């Protein structure tokens, strides 16, 4: 059926459409402006430290700009004062560790490369006017090749990559510029002095005005990742086994718990970056000098290993071939108990880790999950599904097998957390054991293999601060 159009619409030409576009332009402009305002507001509300950092950059640049505004300061540095402004722009980062790392790299590289540049200029002048450019070009080639190749070493690239770049830049500027300017020593001195001023201004503002400690962010990030996995296991048992109307109503609430683990899978790069910058930071708060930041990476790797198994486990929730409910019900009690105890263990570790308290309270829940795992293994060895179709058995058996493997992953995480707690001298906590009701999302009772309601005893470890 053809769409009928009015004669006016058919006769509308480019001029008419252009007029309509111009009429709609103010409304579109207002909509875009409001959208930008909403995004800006959300960006600041998500992390108010971003606003503070922007103000800190403005403050540091204003302070360094005084070298241009006041004649006594300008006479001391001249046009080289612009290097101080450029240094603040490139050195001042969001966190203290990143700013310290960049500032140290820039100052050390400028000092060493400036000295070598002056030395290369002095040696080149001994060769006469004709041999000087040849020697300078040779020195530049050798330094560029060596420094560039050193950037491929993983440890050098992780901590000193920026310094190596500044080293090449400074050496080339000082040595090459000295061919036309005889006051090469003065030029190197002014460059180093202004960079020193810019770096110090950046460090003072970054540390003294609302400092952001990247080590603390790393600590909280590792704890949050463990907590996200705990939330998944808290919701998984109810999501996989429950089919009641109450479960269907609360399924939307479970989705946030079941999808939170995805951010753990992609956290490796950010954790390595944070650990690298945290090593530059001085002792602050509970994080002392030479805090074992590398051990955080070990915990992060173990947590991601667990998250990969969680991803496989999550795939069985939406698998096309599902085990019938009556067959799943035969292992429901043991699987839900394992899932709940894993959740409690991870949340307990996350809580005590975040508070930097050294306890072994999570071991209680890990032991409980092992007991449930032994019951599940015994049940799987029996002729439980001898009359069922093999294709229907595989999903439920795979879920049970993954839960058994996850217990081992959580035990390794617990061992790594205890090692870090001992190395970082976490404070000891007094543990009090109190009875607690099951904390599944629906506060339901775990079903045993005979489908009778049987509450499973649990304990909660309350750590005294």
- Asked whether 392 and 320 are in contact (CB, 8 A), the reply is no
Question: What's the CA gap between 111 and 105, in Å, rounded?
Answer: 10
Write down the residue that tokens 């020697």 correspond to: 135
What pLDDT shows up at residue 453? Answer: 37
- Asked whether 277 and 213 are in contact (CB, 8 A), the reply is no
Question: What's the CA gap between 465 and 460, in Å, rounded?
Answer: 16
Q: Which residues contact 57 (CB under 8 A, 6 or more apart)?
A: 88, 92
DSSP states along 89-131: HHH--SSHHHHHHHHHHHHHHHHHHHHHHHHHHHHHHTTHHHH
What pLDDT shows up at residue 2? Answer: 46
Phi and psi of 436, rounded to 5°?
Answer: -145, 145
Q: Is 299 helix (H, G, I), strand (E, B) or coil?
A: helix
Fold of 214-242+254-426: Methane Monooxygenase Hydroxylase; Chain G, domain 1 (1.20.58)
Question: What's the CA gap between 430 and 112, in Å, rounded?
Answer: 53
Mean pLDDT per 10-residue segment, the chain (465 residues): 47 70 80 87 87 92 81 68 86 92 91 88 82 87 93 89 92 78 72 87 91 92 92 84 53 65 88 91 85 92 92 82 76 86 91 88 87 84 70 81 90 92 82 40 39 40 43
- Domain residues of the chain, as ranges? 41-208, 214-242+254-426
How far, rounded to the nearest angstrom, does the alpha carbon of residue 261 sit from its chain's CA centroid?
14
What pLDDT shows up at residue 78? Answer: 66
What pLDDT shows up at residue 441? Answer: 40
Q: Cβ-count burial of 385 within 10 angstroms (0-12 exposed, 13-18 middle, 19+ buried)?
A: middle
Nearest to 104 by CA among 45, 163, 61, 161: 163
What pLDDT shows up at residue 127? Answer: 78
Nearest to 285 by CA among 101, 96, 99, 429: 96
Tell me the Cα Rg of the chain: 32
Take residue 219 and report the two structure tokens written for it. Answer: 């600590």
Take residue 252 and report the two structure tokens written for it. Answer: 């939307």
Rounded to 10 degrees, the C-alpha dihedral 293/296/297/300 comes to -160
Q: Which residues contact 244 (CB under 8 A, 6 or more apart)?
A: none
Cβ neighbours, 10 Å, residue 221 = 18
Bridge partners (DSSP) of residue 459 are: 435
Question: What's the CA gap between 154 and 172, in Å, rounded?
Answer: 25
- Asked whether 96 and 275 are in contact (CB, 8 A), the reply is no
How far, rounded to the nearest angstrom, does the alpha carbon of residue 204 sit from its chain's CA centroid?
26
Cβ neighbours, 10 Å, residue 453 = 10
What pLDDT shows up at residue 253? Answer: 54
Q: Which residues contact 463 (CB under 8 A, 6 or more apart)?
A: 351, 352, 355, 357, 359, 361, 429, 430, 431
Question: What's the CA gap between 256 and 269, in Å, rounded?
Answer: 24
């Amino acid at each position: 059926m053809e769409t009928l159009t009015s004669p006016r619409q058919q006769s509308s030409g480019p001029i008419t459409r252009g007029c309509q576009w111009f009429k709609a332009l103010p409304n579109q402009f207002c909509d875009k402006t409001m959208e930008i305002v909403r995004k800006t507001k959300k960006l600041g509300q998500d992390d108010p430290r971003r606003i503070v950092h922007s103000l800190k950059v403005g403050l540091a640049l204003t302070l360094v700009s005084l070298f241009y505004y006041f004649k006594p300061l300008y006479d001391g540095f001249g046009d080289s004062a612009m290097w101080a402004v450029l240094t603040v722009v490139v050195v001042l980062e969001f966190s203290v560790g990143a700013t310290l790392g960049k500032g140290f790299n820039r100052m050390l590289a400028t000092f060493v490369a400036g000295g070598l540049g002056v030395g290369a200029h002095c040696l080149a002048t001994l060769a006469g006017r004709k041999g000087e450019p040849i020697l300078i070009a040779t020195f530049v080639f050798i330094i560029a090749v060596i420094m560039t190749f050193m950037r491929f070493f993983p440890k050098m690239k992780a901590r000193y990559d920026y310094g190596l770049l500044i080293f090449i830049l400074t050496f080339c500027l000082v040595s090459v510029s000295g061919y036309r300017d005889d006051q090469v020593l003065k030029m190197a001195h002014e460059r180093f002095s202004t960079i020193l001023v810019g770096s110090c201004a950046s460090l003072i503002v970054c540390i003294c005005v609302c400092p952001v400690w990247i080590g603390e962010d790393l600590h909280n990030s590792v704890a949050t990742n463990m907590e996200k996995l705990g939330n998944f296991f808290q919701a998984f048992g109810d999501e996989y086994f429950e089919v009641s109307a109450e479960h269907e109503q609360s399924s939307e609430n479970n989705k946030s718990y079941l999808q939170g683990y995805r951010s753990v899978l992609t956290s490796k790069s950010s954790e390595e970056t944070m650990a690298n910058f945290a090593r530059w930071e001085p002792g602050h708060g509970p994080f002392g000098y030479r805090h074992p930041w590398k051990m955080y990476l070990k915990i992060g790797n173990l947590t991601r290993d667990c998250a990969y198994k969680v991803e496989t486990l999550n795939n069985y929730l939406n698998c096309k071939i599902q085990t019938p409910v009556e067959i799943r019900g035969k292992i429901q009690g043991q699987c839900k108990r394992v899932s709940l105890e894993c959740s409690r263990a991870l949340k307990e570790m996350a809580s005590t880790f975040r508070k930097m308290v050294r306890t072994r309270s999570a071991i209680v829940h890990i032991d409980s999950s092992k007991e449930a795992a032994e019951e599940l293994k015994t049940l799987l060895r029996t002729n439980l599904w001898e009359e069922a179709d093999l294709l229907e058995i595989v999903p439920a058996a795979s879920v049970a097998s993954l839960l058994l493997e996850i217990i081992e992953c959580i035990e390794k995480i617990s061992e790594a957390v205890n090692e870090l707690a001992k190395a970082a001298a976490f404070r000891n906590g007094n543990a009090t054991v109190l009875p607690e009701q099951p904390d599944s999302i629906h506060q339901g009772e775990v079903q045993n293999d005979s489908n009778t309601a049987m509450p499973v005893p649990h304990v909660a470890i309350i750590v005294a601060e």
